[in-house]
Structures are given as structure tokens and as C-alpha cells.
Structure 1
Amino acid sequence: MESPRKSKFTYRHLQQPSKYSIDSPLRVIALVDLDAFYAQCETKRLGLSPEQPLAVQQWQSLIAVNYPSRAAGVTRHMTASEAKKLCPNIYLAHVATWSAGSSSWSYSPAGSPPDINTSKACLDPYRAESKKILKILQDLCPNAHTEKASIDESFLDLSRDCYERLLTEYECLRNTSEHGDELLPLPEVKELEWSGSHLVPAKEGEEGEIDWDDIAMSIGADIIKNLRSAVYEQLGYTCSAGIASNKMLAKLGAGYKKPNQQSVVRPCATTSFLSAFEFTKIRNLGGKLGSQIASHFHTTSLQQLLSVTLPQFQALLADDTAVWVYNTLRGHDRSPVLPKSSIKSILSAKSFRQALPAFAAAKEWLQVLIADIGSRLDDEGPGRRPKTLTLHFTAASGGRSNVDHWEARHPLEARRKKSKKSVTI
């Protein structure tokens, strides 16, 4: 009688996702990335069609460009006038601003962008929408570890959710505590449902039979499809996503097919997926370290660097760095998804092209900066107040920045009461 076919994973491996182990071969990590987020926020605020070309303007530069505008050749960091030449019907939405002496931010009338000399850019509207999106992710996946990577990106460790569904849907995986290092049976599945995901292809001969890591990934894809649908249904925003075995691959996977799509990078497809990249596109390899490696080995191709041995990297770099680079180029990333604690500091700043003419003008801008900080503290919720207020300023004569510190002995009066009153300085 033929023995049952076995998986390459053990019962011990199966238990690891329940503890969010970074070494689990059944780990499932996703990155959810809002598509041209600032542009989507402005499209929604203005009640425009998603097909309307739109760019978000900060002074004369574009800081966000929606996909219809990109199709016309408009890119970020172009000037507003350059964008108009390429796409005459583009809608240019300037970010909200604080005005000198004001205690709240506002939007300027269409066609009348604010003056950089008398206004300060405000991103509060986008932060507020970002918080709503994060809440949806956390509410729908309360067991997942969720890490806000930026205002428009969030990592989710779905390992425990996938583990629980594996046990629910596959009876052969239950009661695993006594099996230890015994190999799991192979799943009796001939085809998987990928929830509309783009499946990164593996190299010929590397795919193999469907195993439990594939099934875990397919469950993760289903969870992310539901999350993306919920964000759109509740708030009207589209997002793209990458699902993989670690944060690095999930981040790269989210950009594989955009906008409003999701991609799965299975372990068997990691080598073929990464081989198309320049290694400098990988996080932490795009700066001085990446330049040093590219200069030494005369290439930016990740595929070509796979032939470089660990001792060769160690001859160039510190041992820890060499090991990290060697593993990263092969798609290994052990960084955990860490729910970030409350922010530890808030910065509000304004640069002036010309020196302020008098203390009265400086006082108006101090009111704005403190009102800005107060508004963001209000968003942090009750019970949080600063312990120290630090002021940096540079005299008109130039030279080094001056610094003053104040310790808060009482709840800061400088915080606007109910965000409506200006500050007395």
C-alpha cells in the first residue's frame, strides 16, 4: 500500500503562525497601500469623478498625482504650469493651509492658491482619513498585528488568522500538539482560489505541488480582498496590496500591479520575482550602502549580485551588514510587524524666504505653530499632553539655530481649548 504523500512542513511549523513567529515558513504578511492617497482624498472632498485628472499641489510643486493624470504624462514634483501644459483639463487642488495668526486650517478658493510667505501647509485632512482607514483594518482583523508604515501604507501580520482558518477548514491539521517534528500530510487540493489576486509566476520547475504555505497565502489573499472591499465600501478609497511571507516582499508585491489590485508573492516565486529588480529599489539599499555595493560590483542588478558569495560581501562590509545584504537579496526578511505605540513627539515648522520684519509677525506664526500642534494633540485623544515644549529659531543675522525649552508644570494652556481659541504667547 502506497504511503500518504507528505508535506515539507511539520506540525511544529504549523504552530508557529499562532505566535506570530518571524521564523515561521507559514508566515503571511500583507501591505495595504492606498492608491495616490492625497489625490483620492481631494477627489472625494471635491465630489469629482475618479476619472477626472487631478493633482495635489503644495505651492508650485505637485505632491500627488492620480492615475488619469499619470496617463497624460503628469508626474510628482512637476510644477503646476508644467502639468497644465501636458494635461489642460487637470484639476489642481492645493493642500489646506494655516494662515499667519489663524487658529485653524482652511482650503483656499479654487484657482487662488495660497501665498507661501503668509501660509503654512497642513496635512491634517489626510491624517484624519488615514486614521479611518487604519480603524477599518483593525476592526476587521482584530487578531492581526497591524503596523502603520506611513500615512498611506499599513503592514498586517495575518499569520494567526490564517492559522485559525487552516484548522477550521482542514480537519487533518487539528490536534497537532503531540506530533512535533512529524511531517504534515500534503493537502488534498488540486487548485486554489486566489481571490482575484495577481499570482507572481515561479520559475519553471520551482512550483511543485500545492502545499500548506500556498494555502496559507490563498487565505491571506481572501482576507485582504475583503479588507480592500470594506475600505472602498465604507470610505470610497481604492487600495492595492501585496501578500507574501515577509514585509520586504509584501512591500514590493504591492507595487507589482496597481492601482486597485493585489498580488501574491508565494515562497516558490521569490527568486523569479526579485530577479527583475534593481537591488537599490529594496528598502535600506537605496542610499550610501547601495551605492557602495553597486560601485564595488559594477552593477545594480539583483540577479547579478546573487552570484556574489557571503565572504565577498564580508570583505567589503561589516559582518552583520554583509549577512543582512546577502540574505535580503535572496528575499529573506525577519523584521516583525510591530503595532506602533503613540507618537513621542510632534513637530510643526515654518521656513521663511525672508526674515520676519518684527516680533509681532513672529508672534502670529508662533500662534499658528502651537495651534497646529494642539490640533494634532486633540486627534491623539484625551489624556495625552506634552511634557516639554522646544522652540528652534534662527536670527535674521544667520548662524546656528537657537533653542529654548519649557517644562510643562500644568496642562498646557498653549493647547487651544476645544481647538477654537488662539494661543496667548
Structure 2
Amino acid sequence: MTSSPDFLSSPTTPRRTRRTRRKSRFTYKNLSTLAHSSPTCPLRVIAHIDLDAFYAQCETVRLGINPAKLLAVQQWQGLIAINYPARAFGLTRHVTITEAKEKCPEIICQHVATWKEGDAKWTYDLDSVDAAREIATRKVSLDPYRIQSRRILALIKDCLPADKQRVEKASIDEVFIDLSAQVHALLLERYPELRGPAPYDDPSEPLPRPPTTALDWAADALLDLDATQSEEDDPDWDDICTLIASEIVRDVRQHIYTDLHYTCSAGLARNKMVAKLGSAHKKPNGQTVIRNRAIQHFLSTFKFTKIRNLGGKLGDEVVAAFNTDLVSELLPVSLEQLKKQLGDDTGAWLYGIIRGEDTSEVNPRTQIKSMLSAKSFRPSINSFEIACKWLRIFVADIFSRLVEEGVLENKRRPKTINLHHRQGAQTRSKQAPIPMGRQMTEEGLFELARNLLAQVIVDGRAWPCANLSLSVGGFEDGVKDNKGIGGFLVHGEEAKALREQAVKVKSRAGGGRSEMPPAAKKRRVGEGGGGITRFFGGHAREESAGREASRAGDEDDINLAEVSHAAQHTGAGGEDGDEEEEELYFASEEECQAEDQRPVSRPQHAQDHLASSQSLIDQVYPPEPDGGPPQSNHDDGDGVQIHTHPQSMTDTYTCPRCLTNLPEAEKAEHEDFHFAQDLQQEASTPPSARPLPKPVPPAKTANTPRPPSGERGGGGARGRGSGRGRGRPPASSTLGQERGQRKLAFG
């Protein structure tokens, strides 16, 4: 019998490999910043739209000719625009009109619109042959091209969602568009798996890989990838975002051509710098897409002097420092070398820009900041009258553009007007504010410009003038929904009704409290309170009645007697329900007598103290013959007798040094007054003749009777020894104390 082995080996099966799903290079945080159009987001998409030979297209559309015909835009004897069919014959903007006709006899040369004195608007009546003879009497106008530029910009905005569009007008024929927010919305719509929150609520978690392995770029021009990249690699989310943006731009370009008959080229990339270079890559009427994986290869074929901000002095400085103008030859230069040659900031910026790094934002400002109208004179002008004729043309030019900006509807208006005058090598400028309080008119602008020119002439040496320009600036939005002064006035029947109502109210002014305005606010006094209200109750009523009687004869015054009477019989709220209004309450004589008859419980020592105080008060203020409260009369300096009443006996204090009767609250201040007098007297007395300071009586409290003068304790005026039987004598004056120190008694 054979035994089976302890372990049987299983048949060998092919090893099943688990397919791990790769993650994206981008995170949920990158997706979130895409929605906010962050300039540092790696998924960001910027489009640059550039009109093809814009001036030439404007004239082709205006004239209604075939776009395939050769056409150039003429300004005097030069060319400022040439369409692409004419460029195929080697024509450029640097040739003269004569040279262009020699190369292409069939070319159409259309002169730009011009202004001339007396015209209310620019016209196209200047013949290209007579342009040289009219240069001294006419001025060029580019208004037709500005009008078309505004139409194209408005159409682009209409093609984009209003809440997600960011459009920047770079020039008359260039527009930048930040499509990030709109792409984000479409991305979540097409790929719902991106809508959920990040795993573990961690925004740094990578996004899932796109389910698409091939993208359809339609007719777009795709640039070759960098050397380290391959078309066999699956696309990532940055490629998906660029594809969605290319569809949007393709639709915008189609609307521009269908509605306005203009062709334009576009470039799409992750920043403005690369997108602008891309729009010029395939012209005319082309669209170039520069994916993130193709930026380095794309830039290496350029001269860095073609990059924005590197075509002027800075570009020349870089060329001189490194003896090259190619991006590919500048890439090996280290960051430290660039900083050493150009400075830290410029070197770091150049190091990043040649590698396609640009974080400049798309600024959605599309409104103009200033308007300029200028003329170079050949030959120069030599009189104020001729200059004023040109100023009229400048003003007419600027004002017509202001009307298009909405100055007549008070939408936008400038705040300042500027005049620039060039005589020889000297240029002078004058500026003046534009009055904001009245409607802007063409004549008003001309007067301002004329005054500025007069100021230039007063400064001296104004002729001959080689160049003159006028500009307005400081644009601001007009005030909306503003109400003029006429809106606050009433007229006709309404004014008559209001006047009659005022007469009726005035005639009933004394008829009752309900016709009167609310009385002034007065302090409310408690009903049961004693003190000054009870003491002066009768006298206050007499004075109030006297004042009311004295005013009763004035027919224009309010009947104060009735108001006072109503105030005495009305609650705190009054008849009009004003809870904040308080009425002054005077106690009646019966209430005062009843209050005086209430038994008061006082300690025996307090009664003795009051009795002694009453005898002293009777000596200072003898009682009146009729038994009333003592009064004192004095003249206020104007012959008017003032009656004053002393305070209640329980609230007074009599100074033992000057026998002055004062309120108890002023006791401490009065003692300080005597203390100051003692200091002044001692300072003016020789040391040998100075007497010893007298002890000041102790402080009096409300419940402690004043001790006899012989039993009072000593102490300083400020440091009272009310709790001691006797005061400490002052220190000896033989130890050289400082001035004023001997009188201070410390105990």
C-alpha cells in the first residue's frame, strides 16, 4: 500500500497580474484652484486672439470687396497695413506707396479717414494720389478701426458665460481670455467622477487618471512634444483642459467670422506669454495649441527678443552679455550667472520666462483710460490762430469718441485735459481740470484747450511749433440716479396746499397741546424726593408763571403757560407717546408739609450737632421777618437783582477759618484753597519770620459732631488726623529742609 504524500503540489497556473490604475500628476487642490483662475494653477488655460491684418480687414469689410484681392491701408505716403494676399508679393509696411504700386499694380491703396477744419466728422474723401498735398491741412483719424474693435470685443463677451469670463483687451486687435473657470465647469460636467470630495478630505490626493486615451484636436495646429515626452503616453488632465478650451475658442472665432466677417488667429497655452507666441505661429485664420508637454520644445525655436519685455533695451543687454539671441542657447546658462549679469530680480525673471514660466494675470479691464489726438506739422506752424484751428479738430476728434463712451448719458467722463506742445527740442505740457458740475460740450473743451495753449505762449518761445497734441484722462463712472435740486422743490397746487396747511397750524398754535410740537426734554424728578425740589417748589412755580406771562403778548410764540400747565398734568410719556420725553414735577405745598411732618429718627449726638450748627447759620443768615427761608441778594453787574437761597442745613459746611458757608461737597476743595494760600504766604516770608503752621481741624463726617476747638487733633491740611487725639508737632526747622517742607506734618 502506498501512502500519499503529506503535501500535494497544485498544478502550475499562470500568474494573474493585477492592473494597477495609475494616478494623475494633478491633485484635487489643482482642480479647485482652476475654478478660481489662479495664475499658479498648472491646469490653467489662456487664449490669445489676434485679428489678421486688422486695419486692412476693416477696409475690406467696409468696401465690401473680395478678401482675396490685394489691399493696403495708406497714411499719407506710407503704408500702415497690408493684407495677406498682398504680403505674398513681398510687400511690407516699410515700403512707400510708389514701391507698392510698382510691385503690384492691381493693389488697392485705401487712405485712412481724415479730419479737416469745419468737418463735424471724419471722412474718407481724401484720394490716395492727393494725400501728399493735403498733409498740412488734414489730420488722420483711426476711429473707424476703434469702432470695429469694440464690436468684436462685445461679440467675444457674448459668446462666453457672464459669470465666468475674464477678458483683457491687450490692444486694438488683440484680446487675452482666461478660460480656466469655464473649463472647470465643463470638466465637471463631462467627468462626474471629479465632482466628489477628495479621498480622506485631503486636497493633496492625486486625481484619478482620465479615462480617455486619445484626443481629437480637430483642425488645431498641435506642436511637437518635448524630447522627453511621447505621443504614446496617455493624456492627463492638463491635456483635457486644453482640449476643452480649444473647442471654446474655435466657436468664438467662428462667431466673429459669421457675424462680423473678420478672421482671426488664436493661441492656447497655460500662460499669456506662450499663448501670444502661439497665436502668431499659424496665420492667418489659424489656431495653435501649445500643451504643457510641448512648451520647452516650442520656445527653443524662438529668439528671446520676440518675447514680451525682451525686445527693447533689456533684450539688447542680454544679447551683449551672452552673445546670443536664441532661447536654446540661453537655456544652459545657470541661474547664478543670470543673476550676476542682470541682477537678482531680472536674472530670476529671465531664467523662468525662457522656460515658459509666467504668472501674469488676465486683467479684465476693457475701458479706456485716456484719449489722445495729435498732429506733427511739416512744415511747422507759426501762429496762435493756426494752432487754434488744429485744436478745434483735436477737440472734435476727442468729443466724438467721448460720445461713444457715453459722456452725454453721464456714463463715463474724463476729469482732466492735457496739452503737449513741442518747439524744437523743447516739449511743454499744461493741464487743467474739466468742470464736473455741468454737461460736457465740445465748445467747453475747446475753450479749455485754447486757454492751455495761451499759457504755453505766455511762458515764451512757442513758435515755430512742430507737434501739438491734446488728450483727456482720469476717466470715472458718472453718478447714477442722482436727484437734482429741482426734485426737492414743490410747485403749483402742491405748494399752495402746503402753504394753506401751514397757516392753519399757525392759527391754532394756542388752542391745545395736540397742535404743538413736543416740549423740550426735562429731567424727571421723583415724586417722593425731598431736597432742592421741595425747598424751591413754590418759588419755581412763581418764576415759571412770571416767564409765561411775560411771553403771552408775543403772537408768534407758543403759549408756554398752557404747555407748562399740560406738562404738570401729563405723565412722562406725554400725549404724543414719546417715551423719552420727561416732564419736571413740582411737589405741592400739602405734600411738602406732609413730608416735613414725618418723624425722623436721628442719634442724640447728631441732634446736638444740628442745634449748634443752626445757631451758627442764624448768625450768618438771619431769618426773614416773615419766617421764610433766609435769602441773599446781589447784583449781577447789569443792574438785575439775583435772589439766592442757601443750601439745606444738613448739606452745608462752615469753614472755621473764614466762616464761609459752603456745600458739603465743596469742603475738600475749600480746604485745599487755604492750603495753597499758606504755601504762597510761607514762600514770600523770610525763614526767620515764618511762624509755625497751624493745625487744621479734622475732617467732619455726616454722623460725627464737630468737637470743640480746644479738643481738635492736629494734622496737615491733606493728611487730616481725624482719628487722633492730638497732632504731631512739625519737625524742627534747623536741619536745612527744602523750601515748603517744614509745614508738612507726617504722623
TM-score (norm 2): 0.55
What amino acid is the match of 2:426? R
Distance 1:378-1:201 versus aligned 2 partners, 3 A rule: same
For the Cα contact (< 8 Å) 1:58–1:94, is it kept in 2? Answer: yes
Distance 1:341-1:31 versus aligned 2 partners, 3 A rule: closer
Secondary structure, in 3 states, of the residue corresponding to 2:35? helix
Q: What is the distance in 1 between the residues matched to 2:95 and 2:449?
A: 40
Secondary structure, in 3 states, of the residue corresponding to 1:392? strand
Q: Structure 1: which 5+ runs fail to align?
A: none
Q: Which residue of 1 aligns with 2:601?
A: none
Q: Which residue of 2 aligns with 1:59?
A: 76
- Is structure 2 residue 172 aligned with structure 1 residue 151? yes
Task: Count matched residues.
Answer: 421
- Is structure 2 residue 92 aligned with structure 1 residue 79? no
* Aligned with residue 220 of structure 1, among 231, 234, 245: 245
Q: Which residue of 2 aligns with 1:104?
A: 121
* Aligned with residue 370 of structure 1, among 361, 376, 395: 395
For the Cα contact (< 8 Å) 1:148–1:340, is it kept in 2? Answer: yes
Q: Which residue of 2 aligns with 1:387?
A: 415
Q: What is the distance in 1 between the residues matched to 2:73 and 2:155?
A: 25
Q: Which residue of 1 aligns with 2:557?
A: none
* Aligned with residue 234 of structure 1, among 259, 265, 269: 259
- Return structure 1 stretches of 4+ with deviation > 6 angstroms: 421-424
- Is structure 2 residue 171 aligned with structure 1 residue 116? no
* Aligned with residue 206 of structure 2, among 153, 176, 183: 183
Distance 1:116-1:110 versus aligned 2 partners, 3 A rule: closer
For the Cα contact (< 8 Å) 2:114–2:126, is it kept in 1? Answer: no
Q: Which residue of 2 aligns with 1:286?
A: 311
Q: What is the CA-CA distance between 1:193 and the residue it aligns to? A: 1.8
TM-superposition CA deviations, 1:242-264 (whole Å, max 9, x none): 00000001000001111001000
For the Cα contact (< 8 Å) 1:101–1:365, is it kept in 2? Answer: no
Q: What is the CA-CA distance between 1:56 and the residue it aligns to? A: 0.6
- Is structure 2 residue 279 aligned with structure 1 residue 251? no
Distance 1:250-1:100 versus aligned 2 partners, 3 A rule: same
For the Cα contact (< 8 Å) 1:101–1:364, is it kept in 2? Answer: no
What amino acid is the match of 1:43? T
Q: What is the distance in 2 between the residues matched to 1:18 and 1:219?
A: 14
What amino acid is the match of 1:49? N
Q: Which residue of 2 aligns with 1:138?
A: 157
Q: What is the distance in 2 between the residues matched to 1:331 and 1:345?
A: 33
Q: What is the distance in 1 between the residues matched to 2:425 and 2:448?
A: 29
TM-superposition CA deviations, 1:352-388 (whole Å, max 9, x none): 1123253332221111001111111112123222222
Secondary structure, in 3 states, of the residue corresponding to 2:379? coil
Q: What is the CA-CA distance between 1:313 and the residue it aligns to? A: 0.3
Secondary structure, in 3 states, of the residue corresponding to 1:355? strand
Q: What is the distance in 2 between the residues matched to 1:107 and 1:39?
A: 15
Matches within 5 A, 1:259-408: 259-340=284-365, 342-381=367-406, 382-383=409-410, 384-394=412-422, 398=424, 400-408=426-434
Which segment drifts farther, 228-237 or 361-370?
A: 361-370
Q: C-alpha root-mean-square deviation of aligned residues, in Å?
A: 2.0
* Aligned with residue 184 of structure 2, among 159, 163, 171: 163
Q: What is the CA-CA distance between 1:351 and the residue it aligns to? A: 1.2
Q: What is the distance in 2 between the residues matched to 1:147 and 1:274?
A: 24
In our comparison, the structure showing a higher alpha carbon Rg is 2
What amino acid is the match of 1:170? Y
What amino acid is the match of 2:267? G
What amino acid is the match of 1:389? I
Distance 1:422-1:238 versus aligned 2 partners, 3 A rule: farther
Which segment drifts farther, 386-395 or 210-219?
A: 386-395
For the Cα contact (< 8 Å) 2:111–2:126, is it kept in 1? Answer: no
Q: What is the CA-CA distance between 1:19 and the residue it aligns to? A: 0.4
Q: What is the distance in 2 between the residues matched to 1:424 and 1:204?
A: 62
Q: What is the CA-CA distance between 1:3 and the residue it aligns to? A: 2.6
Q: Which residue of 2 aligns with 1:415?
A: 442
Q: What is the distance in 2 between the residues matched to 1:377 and 1:17?
A: 38
What amino acid is the match of 2:190? E
Q: What is the distance in 2 between the residues matched to 1:225 and 1:186?
A: 26
For the Cα contact (< 8 Å) 1:385–1:411, is it kept in 2? Answer: no
Distance 1:412-1:348 versus aligned 2 partners, 3 A rule: farther
TM-superposition CA deviations, 1:139-183 (whole Å, max 9, x none): 111322100000000000000111111100011111235341111
Q: What is the distance in 1 between the residues matched to 2:98 and 2:272?
A: 38
Distance 1:423-1:93 versus aligned 2 partners, 3 A rule: farther
Q: What is the distance in 2 between the residues matched to 1:218 and 1:129?
A: 30
For the Cα contact (< 8 Å) 1:371–1:422, is it kept in 2? Answer: no
Q: What is the distance in 2 between the residues matched to 1:257 and 1:399?
A: 43
TM-superposition CA deviations, 1:56-77 (whole Å, max 9, x none): 1111111111000001111112
TM-superposition CA deviations, 1:299-348 (whole Å, max 9, x none): 11100100000000010112111110000000110000001153222111
Higher relative contact order (CA closer than 8 Å, sequence separation 6+): 1
Q: What is the distance in 2 between the residues matched to 1:414 and 1:399?
A: 34
Matches within 5 A, 1:44-55: 44-55=61-72
Q: What is the distance in 2 between the residues matched to 1:274 and 1:401?
A: 42
Q: What is the distance in 2 between the residues matched to 1:65 and 1:225?
A: 25
Secondary structure, in 3 states, of the residue corresponding to 2:48? strand
Secondary structure, in 3 states, of the residue corresponding to 2:388? helix
TM-superposition CA deviations, 1:89-130 (whole Å, max 9, x none): 100011111113433111125544432111111110000000
TM-superposition CA deviations, 1:2-51 (whole Å, max 9, x none): 33211100111111111010000000000000000000000011111001
Secondary structure, in 3 states, of the residue corresponding to 2:267? strand
Q: What is the distance in 2 between the residues matched to 1:4 and 1:416?
A: 75
What amino acid is the match of 2:43? L
Q: Which residue of 2 aligns with 1:206?
A: 229
Q: What is the distance in 2 between the residues matched to 1:394 and 1:75?
A: 31
What amino acid is the match of 1:102? D
Q: What is the CA-CA distance between 1:411 and the residue it aligns to? A: 3.7
Q: What is the distance in 1 between the residues matched to 2:357 and 2:340?
A: 21
For the Cα contact (< 8 Å) 1:102–1:422, is it kept in 2? Answer: no
Which segment drifts farther, 185-194 or 348-357?
A: 348-357
Q: What is the distance in 1 between the residues matched to 2:449 and 2:373?
A: 17
Q: What is the distance in 1 between the residues matched to 2:425 and 2:213?
A: 71
For the Cα contact (< 8 Å) 2:227–2:297, is it kept in 1? Answer: no
Identity %: 46
Which segment drifts farther, 172-181 or 206-215?
A: 172-181
Q: Structure 2: which 5+ runs fail to align?
A: 1-17, 451-747
Secondary structure, in 3 states, of the residue corresponding to 1:401? strand
Q: What is the CA-CA distance between 1:400 and the residue it aligns to? A: 2.5
